[in-house]
Amino acid sequence: MKFLTRNTLSLLAFVAPVLGQVLSTNCTSSNAAAQVCAELQSDLGSAIVEASGAEYDATSQGTWSLFNSLDRPTCIVYPRTASHVQLTMASIFQHKSHYAVQAGAHSPMIGWNSINDGVLISFANMTSTSYNPVTETVTVQPGVHWGDAMAAVDAFGVSVLGGRASDIGTGLLLGGGISFASPLYGWSADSIKEMDVVLVTGQFVTANATNAHADLFRALKGGANRFGIVTRYELYAIHTGTKEDKNWFGGVIVYPGSSSVALSNASARYIREVTDPKAGLVVILNTVNLTAVDANTVYLFYNGASLPPGIFGDFLSIPNTSQTLSPLSYYDISNLISGSARGNGQQFGASSWVGDEGTFLAGYNHLVNFTQTFPADLIASYLIISPIPQSQWAATAARGPNAIGDPGVAYATINFNLIYPAGVTVRPQDVDDGFKLLLSQTPPSPGLPLYVNECDASQDVFATYPDFAALQETYAKYDPLRFNVEHTVGPIGL
């Protein structure tokens, strides 16, 4: 920790042994961030703490959702080491400043990775990936994007259980995370072997499934940004072969709007009946233009030489506009969706449904009605269906539980994804009210957890977790003063 100064060493000595009481200060909430920024600029230097400039602008304005690119942090901290994060959080904690953390900048939730009048911690300069063939683990820093992580280890014939779009970052893991290979290997978070974590006080701990912080380890795998800032992830590698090893088959099928109902029904049957962990599927139904020949898209894959008709027969038989199917590597399918496009406001809302045709069709029709109520306000309105088979939970059990919790049935996460026209910087209130009504009309099937990475800010996701009480206890243990929930934006309910 060679970057620590005398003043900050004294501060860490105060916060590290116990959480204690927040220091009494004379600063108000309006100038707390300014005091933190001045202190950190003195301790860490202007190369790490910036209040303006090209890098500052690129970070604050470069978020995936346009709605998060409007905020102007008091300063942005670009840590190079975990000790920098410790100093930053210790100062934030002392002065009671508001803050946010940005890793991949891919969240659609307003304020989860951006902030006005507060301190933004950006991991843009912590992006390394390394592979250890002895432990068969991949270590990634929190600023890495999954496409880059996969490229870094591909030559070793291994990969990481990242996201389904190459631009997504490590925040995926904190929400649970879904990969095209999740039916085989579990939630993306289940690939974590160990994490280095900075708590709200600036205290540094290492958490894994067997040490004194096993409760924190579990909570981080689905607890989003509420339990600490991860500065290092050690992940179990998955042995996929290189990008030259085409041991998967599949690709993309595009369908006209006239196929939407058939696709909804086929998706429900798939969720209910398919148990083969080698199968991967995502169904995307667009309700903005129901007459378009390219309204709907399905990504379907199988870890084998072809798509088995017994699994994918419904999707292959539904009238389509085009299909691009071929042998692929895991690297290929994980980079098929870039997800890097910027410039539009994004909004997510979550549900979870068992495989019932009536439930799926009712949800689809509710989305159609919502979309048709606001014909000029949206350029896309998607119903995105992601299967969560029981094999995914079996893989989770082999590595220890995560925060989400197995509901005991196969189901699908449902993402209602709205995309606003370019230039729209504020969500219209009537559209937002209508969206919340849509979410109330399309609740999760009884007993199913919501997927926090796809939720709306108004949704009480944690309360849907089967072991919510344990999550609350863990949060109270590591943040008894409730500093995180009072000073940064994230999931409600804790």
pLDDT at 12 over 60: no
How far, in Å, CA of 459 to CA of 448, rounded? Answer: 14
Helix (H, G, I), strand (E, B) or coil at 99: strand
The rounded percent of the chain whose pLDDT value lies above 90 is 93
| C-beta of residue 253 within 8 angstroms of C-beta of residue 300 | yes
pLDDT at 30 over 80: no
| Average pLDDT, integer, range 388-415 | 96
Give tens-digit pLDDT for 339-365. Answer: 999 999 999 999 999 999 999 999 999
Give tens-digit pLDDT for 166-188. Answer: 999 999 999 999 999 999 999 99
pLDDT at 69 over 50: yes
User: Residue 15's pLDDT band (boundaries 50, 70, 90)?
Assistant: very low
User: Residue 11's pLDDT band (boundaries 50, 70, 90)?
Assistant: very low
pLDDT at 22 over 70: no
| C-beta of residue 126 within 8 angstroms of C-beta of residue 142 | yes
Beta partners for residue 99, in sequence order: 119
Give tens-digit pLDDT for 265-306. Answer: 999 999 999 999 999 999 999 999 999 999 999 999 999 999
Q: What residue ranges define each of the domains in the chain, with the CATH number in brackets?
A: 6-125 (3.30.43.10), 129-242 (3.30.465.10), 248-328+342-464 (3.40.462.20)
| Average pLDDT, integer, range 367-376 | 97
| Average pLDDT, integer, range 228-244 | 97
How far, in Å, CA of 350 to CA of 456, rounded? Answer: 7
How far, in Å, CA of 403 to CA of 382, rounded? Answer: 27
How far, in Å, CA of 235 to CA of 160, rounded? Answer: 7
Within 10 angstroms of residue 134's Cβ, the number of other Cβ atoms is 5
Within 10 angstroms of residue 376's Cβ, the number of other Cβ atoms is 6
| C-beta of residue 281 within 8 angstroms of C-beta of residue 270 | yes
